Amino acid sequence: QLQLVESGGGLVQPGGSLRLSCAASEFSLDFYAIGWFRQAPGKEREGVSCISASGESTNYADSVKDRFTVSRDKDKNAVSLQMNSLKPEDTAFYYCAAYAGWGPCRWDMFHYWGQGTQVTVSA
């Protein structure tokens, strides 16, 4: 079964940046669409960004457009989420998820999930 591991979370001041990574071993992520999700205390899980298996299609939540960028690092068998201009409201536990398939991301298809990494934005 596909195993996903997130890394790169931490504490950052407002306006700062973090780069999250979603990596896998044994199985190539080339065949998987990868999504990033986050959940803050007392709130529902929300989709943040998604990249298709080919890397040609990406999607972003309105709240992170122009600040976050998702990309594939194929030499590392990983997907990164570059987060810039971070705001306190970005504070959440971030998860990556995957499903096997081609074409634009389908948000209802994700069924492999990583363990998550905490992102805290605070002065």
* Cα 69 to Cα 58: distance, rounded to the nearest angstrom: 9
Backbone angles phi, psi at 29, to 5 degrees: -80, 0
Report pLDDT for 25. Answer: 84
Mean pLDDT of 86-110: 96
Structure tokens of 103?
């074409």
Mean residue pLDDT across the chain:
96
Structure confidence by residue, pLDDT tens digits, 5-21:
999 999 999 999 999 99
* Cα 9 to Cα 92: distance, rounded to the nearest angstrom: 10
What Rg, from alpha-carbon coordinates, does the chain have? Answer: 13
**Other C-beta atoms within 10 Å of 33: how many?**
26
Structure confidence by residue, pLDDT tens digits, 99-109:
999 999 999 99
Structure confidence by residue, pLDDT tens digits, 45-72:
999 999 999 999 999 999 999 999 999 9
